[in-house]
Amino acid sequence: MKVLEIHGSTGDSTILVGGSLRDLGTYISAEEVVIITDINVRRSYLKDFPPYEVIEIGAGEEIKNLDTVQAIYGRLVELEAGRSSFIVGIGGGIACDITGFVASTYLRGVRFGFVSSTLLSQVDASVGGKNSVNFRGYKNIVGVFNQPEFVICDMNLLRTLPEREIACGFAEVVKHAAIGDRDLFSYLEQHYEKALELDLEVIERLVYDSLVIKSSIVNRDEREKGERRKLNFGHTFGHAIEKTTGIPHGEAVSAGMVVASALSAKRGYLSVEGTKRIEGLLKKLKLPTRLRLNGGEVVDALRKDKKRAGDSIHFVLLHDIGSAVIEEISIEELEAVVHDLC
Ligand code: GLY
């Protein structure tokens, strides 16, 4: 097991890469513990849960909203959960986001931690202290920054994931490599077959190296005033694609990274060879790179991007594989890119 630390404004967060759900009890020093988990994770792994109360939620992006949050508050009240209670989210990005939001607001905040069960949440969503839900069609627009005390990344939980879900996690690994680690990018190019087979050694390295990049960025800029924006590489178009097509987040980010790479090349930063390597790696990892899109809908979604500041968006471009830069790009220029694409 490898350990990383995030030192957040709300507290420290210990990331345990290669930790185990079965050891969960050893990381919690509290008398009352409540688990929040989704229906699928509960079905597959209940036998490995310590004997705590369990609140079950549904699965899928559509349950990541204030209705689910309200239902959980109701159960916590029924269970008489108090200030000294500890809440653990066991699941992917959705279960962890909801758990973090609930724990940060119930009784003005109780202690919490995560057991992260999908590749996407292990390499990205469950780490870094963003806890948000969707509201009226706006993704992650209601939320708080608050660090979980721990995140256990248990590689054994990845074995039951569908192939498509695993591929979505690889999109965020490619993102981390593209913005901050050219060696990780080359390693993934060389070992993508073993990665797809979920070879333990390869997967653990991919998760750890991704989180080295993410945790160091979050340690420098927890509240996303500057450098943390780099973690949104591929996400401006990705979120617009996700919203308009309904495809999973990782797939949309994959296509979004291809657009952002093309824009980086158009601006004279990234070489054409660099754009080809990025698209080639995404394809090898069974991710979509080019999609049929409705230009009007994509433009509308870009205009509603929560990261928009006036007429422009902080957009992440690549100077090279492993080196990212943030630039303000006007909505007009992004619209022109969409019109070229569609
Ligand atoms: N997923 C991007 C971030 O945590 O900032």
Give phi and psi for 140, each to the nearest 5.
50, 35
Q: What is the pLDDT of residue 226?
A: 95
Q: How far apart are CA 172 and CA 175, in angstroms?
A: 5
| 46 — pLDDT class (breaks 50, 70, 90) | very high
Q: Based on the domain organization, do 320 and 209 belong to the same domain?
A: yes
* 317 in Cβ contact with 324 (< 8 Å): yes
Q: What is the pLDDT of residue 294?
A: 86
| 311 — pLDDT class (breaks 50, 70, 90) | confident
Query: Does the pLDDT of residue 113 top 80, yes or no?
Result: yes
Average pLDDT over residues 293-319: 86
Q: How far apart are CA 278 and CA 261, in angstroms?
A: 8
Q: Based on the domain organization, do 317 and 304 belong to the same domain?
A: yes
Query: Does the pLDDT of residue 339 top 90, yes or no?
Result: no
- Is the CB–ligand 1 distance for residue 231 below 6 Å? yes
Among 132, 175, 228, residue to substitute to test ligand 1 (most atoms within 8 Å of Cβ): 228
194 by Cβ neighbours in 10 Å (0-12 / 13-18 / 19+) ranks as middle
In sequence order, the β-bridge partners of residue 279 are none
Q: Based on the domain organization, do 154 and 20 belong to the same domain?
A: yes
Closest-lying ligand 1 atom to the alpha carbon of residue 231: 2
Q: What is the pLDDT of residue 321?
A: 98
Q: In a 3-state reduction of DSSP, which class is residue 29?
A: coil
Among 232, 316, 326, residue to substitute to test ligand 1 (most atoms within 8 Å of Cβ): 232
| 222 — pLDDT class (breaks 50, 70, 90) | very high
Final residue in a domain of this structure, among 125, 160, 195: 160
Final residue in a domain of this structure, among 144, 160, 176: 160
Q: What range defines the domain where residue 68 resides?
A: 2-160
Q: Based on the domain organization, do 269 and 135 belong to the same domain?
A: no
Q: Based on the domain organization, do 175 and 243 belong to the same domain?
A: yes
Q: In a 3-state reduction of DSSP, which class is residue 288?
A: coil
User: Cα(230) to centroid of ligand 1, in Å?
Assistant: 9
User: Cα(97) to centroid of ligand 1, in Å?
Assistant: 12
Q: Based on the domain organization, do 186 and 156 belong to the same domain?
A: no
Q: Based on the domain organization, do 174 and 141 belong to the same domain?
A: no
Mean residue pLDDT across the chain: 95
Q: How far apart are CA 83 and CA 335, in angstroms?
A: 48
Q: How far apart are CA 175 and CA 148, in angstroms?
A: 23
Average pLDDT over residues 236-259: 94
Q: Based on the domain organization, do 91 and 168 belong to the same domain?
A: no
- Our count of domains for the chain comes to 2
pLDDT in tens, 125-144: 999 999 999 999 888 999 99
User: Cα(115) to centroid of ligand 1, in Å?
Assistant: 18
Q: What is the DSSP letter of 312?
A: E
Q: Which two tokens stand for residue 160?
A: 């039951």
Output the domain CATH number for residue 299. 1.20.1090.10
- Is the CB–ligand 1 distance for residue 154 below 6 Å? no
Query: Does the pLDDT of residue 341 top 80, yes or no?
Result: no
Q: What is the pLDDT of residue 105?
A: 98
- Is the CB–ligand 1 distance for residue 167 below 6 Å? no
Q: Which two tokens stand for residue 121?
A: 């949440």
**Per-position DSSP letters for 319-336, written without gaps between them:** EETTEEEEEEEEHHHHHH
Q: Based on the domain organization, do 330 and 188 belong to the same domain?
A: yes
Provide the percentage of residues in the chain whose pLDDT is more than 90. 88
Q: How far apart are CA 136 and CA 123, in angstroms?
A: 27
Short-list 148, 188, 150, 145, CA closest to 170: 188
User: Cα(249) to centroid of ligand 1, in Å?
Assistant: 13
Average pLDDT over residues 191-198: 97
Give phi and psi for 85, each to the nearest 5.
-70, 155
User: Cα(119) to centroid of ligand 1, in Å?
Assistant: 15
Which residue is it, tokens 């069960």?
A: 117
Q: Based on the domain organization, do 126 and 168 belong to the same domain?
A: no
- Is the CB–ligand 1 distance for residue 123 below 6 Å? no
Q: What is the pLDDT of residue 149?
A: 98
Q: Which residues lie below 8 Å from residue 37, measured CB to CB, with a gap of 6+?
A: 49, 54, 55, 56, 57, 89, 90, 91, 95
Higher-confidence residue: 139 or 48? 48
pLDDT in tens, 8-31: 999 999 999 999 999 999 999 999
Q: Based on the domain organization, do 215 and 151 belong to the same domain?
A: no
Query: Does the pLDDT of residue 241 top 80, yes or no?
Result: yes
Output the domain CATH number for residue 107. 3.40.50.1970
Final residue in a domain of this structure, among 110, 141, 160: 160
Q: What is the pLDDT of residue 314?
A: 92
Short-list 128, 59, 144, CA closest to 94: 59
pLDDT in tens, 159-189: 999 999 999 999 999 999 999 999 999 999 9
Q: What is the pLDDT of residue 24?
A: 97
Q: Which two tokens stand for residue 61?
A: 């992006």
Q: Based on the domain organization, do 74 and 128 belong to the same domain?
A: yes
User: Which of 35-49, 153-167, 192-206, 287-301 is least confident?
Assistant: 287-301
Helix runs in the chain, H state only: 39-45, 66-78, 93-105, 119-120, 163-180, 182-196, 200-220, 235-245, 249-266, 272-284, 295-303, 331-341
Short-list 150, 110, 115, 109, CA closest to 129: 150
Q: What is the pLDDT of residue 240?
A: 92
- Is the CB–ligand 1 distance for residue 229 below 6 Å? no
Q: For ligand 1, atom 4, name the residue with the nearest CA.
A: 128
Distances (CA, A) of 188 to 156, 182, 212, 285: 20, 10, 16, 9
**Per-position DSSP letters for 149-162, written without gaps between them:** SEEEE-GGGGGGS-
User: Cα(79) to centroid of ligand 1, in Å?
Assistant: 32
pLDDT in tens, 59-98: 999 999 999 999 999 999 999 999 999 999 999 999 999 9
